[in-house]
Amino acid sequence: MNIIIIGCGKVGATLAEQLTNEGHDITVVDVDPDAVKRVTSICDVMGIVGNGVAHRVQKEAGIDYADLLIAMTGSDEQNLLSCLIAKKASSCITIARVRNPDYITERSFIKEKLGISMIVNPELEAANEITRLFSIPSAIEVDTFARGRIELMKTILPRHSPIAGMTIKNALGKLSGRILICVIERGSEVIIPSGDTMLCAGDAISFVTTRKDAASFFKKAGLPSSHISSVVIVGGGKISFYLAQKLSEIGFHVKIIEKDKEHCEFLTTILPNDVVIINGDGSDQNLLLEEGVDTADGFASITDIDEENVMLSLFVRSNFTAKTVTKVNKLNFEGIIDKLDIGSVIYPKYITAEMIVSYVRALENTTGSNVQTLYNIVGGKVQALEFNVRSQSAVVGVPLSALRLKPGLLLCCISRHGQIIIPGGSDCVELGDTVVVVTTSKSLNDLKDILA
């Protein structure tokens, strides 16, 4: 596909890299020549310096023959106007990043009236992910499929786990719940396991299940099943606003610590009355103790400074029992961060990029089994994809044991009329199913692509 990306910031650059790796022809546009140069130096893309709102600049970028325009600048209004002009000038599909809460409440109206196919909000999606993490304390990552009915969770087997040293089929054999372990990380090794794969203490295991069935697995694995009811958030930006709103709605006690006094006053006017806003420096350990971080169940470090977020989570993690979530924007030290004991880490730009990449894959295949959802897991080494089965193919109606699947791939869950199926060899995929696949391959656009 021919794709134009307007805005070469963190999200735009990440998108350019991922969509280039997917084999698309990318043109990036930004008013900052240095930003364009940074992206073109690391990706095989064409760069245009200019204002992406201007029709002249869009024509130079190839809007006449573009399939998709993605507006990712720092201004909601510029993104919306860029998409509107692109729709008037061509027949391309448009995607806009919109972050302002006032606009998000009118998402449906904006999409309909401006003809925008997709509106993404990195901060809102990050808040959704953090909310899931606090709702399932034993998981360090939680991704959802089938409109929330299926969840892909990641946890680490503790040193004295009762199931360490057991094979997967023996470990799960006595569980009545629907669980399938689909990825094991052991040091630098990534394993797509079988039932005979041995589980070891310290393994990071990803498994597909329902939230209800996850509880019995956590208990069997020797993981804590504590409930989170109080959360301290450091940083009062857009993610914190959305997060506090969501946590308050589901009954959490929420406290936000924010440096800027004027912004604190603004937050008090737009957040629910039960959210406590503290004006102070969240990096001050004495202030954290005064505000109850030692007794809080959850702690989220969401400032604009990655280093501060990491250090705060290290402090809380090493001294208290709160579940920690750390926001990281830069990916320069991702490998080092993943080795630190700071609990759950979220990368907002990855979340946005995954949403758009899955949408692009669905555009490429509008008649078969569309990619509905896509997550990059295990540091991007593995993909978890959700397919909607809309047409007959060589996969449909055939027992899984009779299918020749690509190596490094596991068909791990089927959702059928609201029923969750952890499939065995005798199960078949049927029309109308939602199917979740975990794979080390990066080129699945259709369910039939799982065949060798």
Residues 243 and 196 in one domain: no
Q: Are residues 24 and 77 in the same domain?
A: yes
Tell me the pLDDT band of 242, cut-offs 50, 70 and 90: very high
Please tell me whether residue 126 adopts helix, strand or coil conformation: helix
Helices (H), 221-337: 238-249, 261-270, 285-290, 306-319, 334-337
Query: How does residue 93 score in pLDDT terms, banded at 50, 70 and 90?
Result: very high
> What's the rounded mean pLDDT across residues 272-286?
95
Residues 400, 425: contact at Cβ < 8 Å? yes
Q: What was the pLDDT predicted at 333? A: 65
Indicate the residue among 220, 244, 263 that finishes a domain: 220
Last residue of a domain, one of 100, 120, 140: 120
Query: Each residue of 2-20: pLDDT tens digit?
Result: 999 999 998 899 999 989 9
Please report, as a single letter, which amino acid is at residue 133: L
| Statement to judge: residues 15 and 96 lie in one domain | yes
Residue 332: the pLDDT is 64
Which of 22-31, 77-86, 389-398 has the least mean pLDDT? 389-398
Going by C-beta distance under 8 Å and a sequence separation of 6 or more, which residues neighbour residue 18? Answer: 353, 357
User: What pLDDT does 331 receive?
Assistant: 60
Q: Look up the domain containing 254 and give its range.
A: 230-346
What's the CA gap between 204 and 212, in Å, rounded?
Answer: 21
Tell whether 329 is covered by a domain.
yes
- By percentage, how much of the chain surpasses pLDDT 70? 97
Instruction: Return mean pLDDT, the chain.
Output: 90
> What's the CA gap between 193 and 409, in Å, rounded?
9
Evaluate whether residue 422 is within a structural domain: yes
Residue 354 lies in a domain: no
Could you read off the pLDDT of 398-445 as tens digits, one per residue?
Answer: 999 999 999 999 999 999 988 889 888 899 999 999 999 999 987 788
Res. 155: pLDDT tops 70:
yes
Q: What is the token pair recorded at 209?
A: 């299940």
How many domains, the chain? Answer: 4
CATH number at residue 328: 3.40.50.720
Do residues 93 and 153 both lie within one domain? no
How many residues can be counted in the chain?
A: 452
Q: Is residue 147 located within the same domain as residue 191? A: yes
Q: Is the pLDDT of residue 119 over 70?
A: yes
Domain assignment present for residue 143? The answer is yes
pTM: 0.86
Residues pairing with 289 in the sheet: none
Query: Residue 398 is part of a domain; what is its CATH number?
Result: 3.30.70.1450
User: Does residue 246 lie within any of the structural domains?
Assistant: yes
Highest mean pLDDT pick, 129-133, 178-182, 224-228: 129-133
Q: Is residue 298 over pLDDT 90?
A: yes
**Within a domain: residue 357?**
no
Same domain, 64 and 162: no
